[in-house]
Amino acid sequence: MHISVNVDGVTYADEVEPRLLLVHYLRERLGKTGTVVGCDTGNCGACTVHLDGHSVKSCQMLAVQANGHEVTTIEGLARDGKLHPVQEAFHSNHALQCGFCTPGMIMQAIDLLADESDPDDETVRKGLEGNLCRCTGYQNIVRAVQDAAQRMKPGAGPKQEQHSDEHVSSKQPVGGE
């Protein structure tokens, strides 16, 4: 079957088997290996990509269903060598443990933040509940999504990274007060 799909800003025209999953098309045909194959059942969310700006689990979608659509993978987020604010926030908040769930978490978080610009903990957890972290890094992931929400607000400047070995005392003012 012939398909034409725009992936990360590039249009691809291909012949594919009607039963080829989108995740396998992205990884094997296009080399988009940041889209991870986790469970092949849609339970883990590691394969999450955007289809026309909304998150989908690419292991539950056929490549032919993407025909005529725009797909964004984790590789397509950075622009001009600059990471997407959600990618920056995941890095700054140490929300990357083993990294296996990270691409799917980031893609789902971007979709969540498109609808909810200032999510509380419960909103983040509910918004990411279809994505599993096997390392139990949820605290840092929730923190990263909330940080990304702040980074994405108009006029927000870049935040300074705070490394886990740094200690900030709550008794002293921070930022030159």
pLDDT at 157: 61
Residue range of the domain that includes 9: 2-76
Which residue type sits at 94? H
pLDDT at 163: 40
What is the count of structural domains for the chain?
2
| Same domain, yes or no: 89 and 144 | yes
pLDDT tens, position by position, 77-126: 999 999 999 999 999 999 998 999 999 999 999 999 999 999 999 999 99
36 vs 5: CA distance, rounded Å: 19
- In degrees, rounded to 5, the angle at the alpha carbon of residue 33 between the alpha carbons of residues 27 and 36 is 90
Of 44, 76, 108, which residue is a domain's last? 76
107 inside domain: yes
139 inside domain: yes
| Same domain, yes or no: 52 and 20 | yes
DSSP 127: H
* pLDDT at residue 154 tops 80: yes
| Same domain, yes or no: 124 and 96 | yes
pTM, 2 dp: 0.86
Average pLDDT, integer, range 157-164: 48
Residue entry with tokens 């700054």:
92
160 inside domain: no
* pLDDT at residue 169 tops 80: no
| Same domain, yes or no: 48 and 96 | no
